[in-house]
Amino acid sequence: MSETSHPVPLIFYLIAALAILYFLFNLRRITAVRIGKKEDQSLKIFPQIFNSLFFGVGQRKVWSVQFIYASIMHFFLAWGFIELFFATIVDMFTKWGFFVETLPGKDTPWFALINDVGGVMFIIGILMALFRRYVNKPEPLPQDTFSGRGNLLGDSGILLFLLIIGVGGFFSEAARLAIDQPETAHFSWIGLPLSKIATAHTWEILKPWLWWSHALLSLLFISILPYTKMFHAIVVILNVALTNRKTRGNLTPMYVSKLMEDPEADIDEISLGASKVEEFTWKQLLDSVSCTECARCTSVCPAYNTDKLLSPMKIITDIRQNLYTTRFSKDKPESLVGGIINEEELWSCSTCGACMEQCPVLINHIPTFTDMRRFLVLSEGKPPTQASKSLENTLQFGNPWGLPSSDRTKWAEKAGIELPLMANKKEADILYWVGCAGAYDSRNQNVSKAMIKIFEVAGVDYAVLGNEESCTGDSARRMGEEYLFETMATQNIETLNQYKFNTIVTACPHCFHTLGGEYSAFGGRYSVVHHSEFIQDLIQHEKLKVSPSVSEDITYHDACYLGRHNGIYDSPRNVIQSVMKNGKLLEMKQNKKNSFCCGAGGGNMWYDIERGDRINVIRFREAFETGAKTIATACSFCLFMMDDAVKVEGKENTVQIRDIAEIVANNIN
């Protein structure tokens, strides 16, 4: 923004060149991620360019109504910064005598105008940021802000630094305007009024000081940028460009059985899961380097919001800290898992995906956390104490409850239902995957009965696996027990491949997610449909005639593995709407992609974190506040957890918890 009436002294260019060289040298900080392992993801040119423009430069996910203040703040700061950056580049070219004819000059009216706009946006953004950090203080935002977590000047120091540069720029401009008196000075709508505060003579004296301090501070900023928080402006573009958004969130198969057969594999050397920084992939490390500590992940985390130890942001930045120390410091870093990241933090995660949904820089939290869980379970043999029984049961009995596998169809026998078995039919249009909860949990058995009623009324050609069905291994996989998951997957794929069917239908989003999304890596490719979509389809195609007779309000609780993980938000709502007479479908405050977990995902169904509030009770209260008489779910675990919460809260007589299949089954003739 500044220009001298006399030529820029040569010494400036020398210093500038040094600053840029130092900046380039400091960029090597990013090479720290090279100590990571190979990343297994395919990248295609077009989506990657799109990502870098849309999520990187375009900052699409920074904008969030939920975090509106921070969104506006960042908009001002970032776009102001970018405008000033370009203005400086243009200035540089014209000063060197390049493109003087085509590029705007300092006093070209529109350029003068927008440069002041840029400066104002920049300063407003910084002031908003400082206000937020010192007055607003949204809770999970880091508060130790001058040193901090691997970034030079911390969070506040860099803001003050930038503020000085921004304000200094305006003063420098004011001095120039006061001395040069250009005709178009009034277009510099901040610079001109500012120049009026002192006499031209005063400005004359101040000018060299203002100019040099602004120039040197700016160069200093550029040279140390990779060591400050502002590094994210570069790294994030790289990180989103190298993210495959289609596979983001997917867990990488370990192919344990191959590993076990490999005679070369040295058990003492082999890495199972991740506990040291070198055991993460370079992309996971790049994720950690990209983290801006905006704390959005933590502020939406159900574990954090119920006072558990987990803060996703802390874990990601712990990894970064460890990476920088390992790579650039003589100190030995504190160990990660079991050291700076304790086991309870990791086990508090319900893998609900709220953090990933919010993350503006597309960090892949869940697979990273799962890798650490894999270390705990596969390498250390330390699943949560309560959960180890469920894992052993899954292997021994084929269900986490440890009930006899021969009792899998007892629910139907007791209800007088004669289940068509695949073993007898060999072929059916629909394979109904009952799931362990649907088979063994008394509450969920009712959902299975409702499904059978729907199949029968709609005349669906269906069959079940009966006692041949086994746990899909979902909970095991989320808990990091990849070996058990693989065992279950292999066994189920073998069973499924004996039969002919077109589609698997299941009422459990966890079964849906594993069967439909994860078994393909082990050779099981099936068309899997969740019952919400299946029922919606039956109703839409009038294969199932429902009588809309519900006159009471219903609220729907989104299941994480149906919603956020698989993008199904509308079908369960449509199904509920189809049975409504006078009742309304009420939305909770946190719904759809911003939904709040029931607390059972990620294996949490099988152990309790004895700290803070119970997630299901918190979610139940939110549902209760809508005033709805029915809380509808579309997930075995959610149903179980809500049913538990309604009892804890003593509201059984006020509110009922129903799966959408039960609601439909009650409204068909």
Partner 1 sequence: MKICVLVKQVPGPDSPLLISDDKKWIQEEEIDYAMNESDSYALEEALQIKERLGEGEVVAASLGPDRVQKTIREALAKGADRGIHVKDDYPSTDSYVIAGQFALALKEENFDLILSGLQSDDTGMGQTGLMLGEFLGMSTSTLVMETDISEGKLRVKKELEAGWFQWVSMDLPACITIQSGLNTPRYPSLRGIMGAKKKEIKVMESTPQGELLQSLEKIYVPKKTKLTEMIEGDTDQVVAKLVDVLKRDIKVL
Give the interface with partner 1 as residue ranges (CB under 8 A).
Answer: 256, 259-260, 265, 267-268, 270, 272, 377-383, 385, 388, 391-392, 396-398, 402, 404-406, 482-483
Q: Which helix (DSSP H) or strand (DSSP E) does residue 72 occupy? A: helix 68-96
Report the residue number, 391 or 588, with the smaller CB distance to partner 1.
391
Minimum distance, C-beta of residue 410 to partner 1, in the bound complex (Å) = 14
Report the residue number, 97 or 381, with the smaller CB distance to partner 1.
381
Residue 82 DSSP SS3:
helix
R_g of the chain, CA atoms, integer Å: 30
Give me the residue label for tokens 């993350």: 359
What does the alpha-carbon distance between residue 305 and residue 159 come to, in Å, rounded to a whole number?
A: 28
Report the residue number, 483 or 526, with the smaller CB distance to partner 1.
483
Minimum distance, C-beta of residue 388 to partner 1, in the bound complex (Å) = 4
Per the CB < 8 A criterion, the answer to whether 369 and 377 are in contact is: no
Report the residue number, 343 or 613, with the smaller CB distance to partner 1.
343
**Burial zone of 664 (CB within 10 Å; 0-12 exposed, 13-18 middle, 19+ buried):** buried
What is the total residue count of the chain?
A: 669
Report the residue number, 31 or 386, with the smaller CB distance to partner 1.
386
What does the alpha-carbon distance between residue 437 and residue 517 come to, in Å, rounded to a whole number?
A: 20
What does the alpha-carbon distance between residue 549 and residue 540 come to, in Å, rounded to a whole number?
A: 17
Per the CB < 8 A criterion, the answer to whether 538 and 454 are in contact is: yes
Minimum distance, C-beta of residue 468 to partner 1, in the bound complex (Å) = 14
Report the residue number, 259 or 457, with the smaller CB distance to partner 1.
259
Tokens describing residue 458: 């709609």
Minimum distance, C-beta of residue 382 to partner 1, in the bound complex (Å) = 7
Minimum distance, C-beta of residue 394 to partner 1, in the bound complex (Å) = 11
What does the alpha-carbon distance between residue 303 and residue 309 come to, in Å, rounded to a whole number?
A: 7
Minimum distance, C-beta of residue 390 to partner 1, in the bound complex (Å) = 11
**Of 479, 418, 419, 451, residue with least CA distance to 602:** 479
Tokens describing residue 115: 């440069």
Per the CB < 8 A criterion, the answer to whether 203 and 179 are in contact is: yes
Report the residue number, 304 or 606, with the smaller CB distance to partner 1.
606
**Of 551, 605, 564, 431, residue with least CA distance to 502:** 431
Report the residue number, 202 or 396, with the smaller CB distance to partner 1.
396
Q: Which helix (DSSP H) or strand (DSSP E) does residue 540 occupy? A: helix 531-540
φ, ψ of residue 418 to 5 degrees: the values are -95, 105
Report the residue number, 73 or 391, with the smaller CB distance to partner 1.
391
**Burial zone of 176 (CB within 10 Å; 0-12 exposed, 13-18 middle, 19+ buried):** buried
Report the residue number, 439 or 660, with the smaller CB distance to partner 1.
439
Minimum distance, C-beta of residue 434 to partner 1, in the bound complex (Å) = 18
Minimum distance, C-beta of residue 308 to partner 1, in the bound complex (Å) = 22
Cα distances from 327 to residues 37, 221, 322, 464, 610, in angstroms, run 15, 23, 8, 55, 37
Sheet holding 585-586, edge to edge: 585-586, 554-556, 630-633, 656-659
Quickly count: other Cβ atoms within 10 Å of residue 42's Cβ: 7
Minimum distance, C-beta of residue 499 to partner 1, in the bound complex (Å) = 22
What does the alpha-carbon distance between residue 34 and residue 306 come to, in Å, rounded to a whole number?
A: 37
What does the alpha-carbon distance between residue 38 and residue 521 come to, in Å, rounded to a whole number?
A: 18
Minimum distance, C-beta of residue 515 to partner 1, in the bound complex (Å) = 23
Minimum distance, C-beta of residue 494 to partner 1, in the bound complex (Å) = 16
What does the alpha-carbon distance between residue 560 and residue 310 come to, in Å, rounded to a whole number?
A: 18
Minimum distance, C-beta of residue 346 to partner 1, in the bound complex (Å) = 16
Report the residue number, 160 or 260, with the smaller CB distance to partner 1.
260
Buried b / exposed e along 63-81 (16+ C-beta atoms within 10 A): ebeebeebbebbbbbbbbb
Report the residue number, 352 or 605, with the smaller CB distance to partner 1.
605
Minimum distance, C-beta of residue 478 to partner 1, in the bound complex (Å) = 16
Minimum distance, C-beta of residue 403 to partner 1, in the bound complex (Å) = 9
Give the largest Cα separation in the chain, rounded. 100
Per the CB < 8 A criterion, the answer to whether 479 and 387 are in contact is: yes
Report the residue number, 183 or 266, with the smaller CB distance to partner 1.
266
Report the residue number, 47 or 402, with the smaller CB distance to partner 1.
402
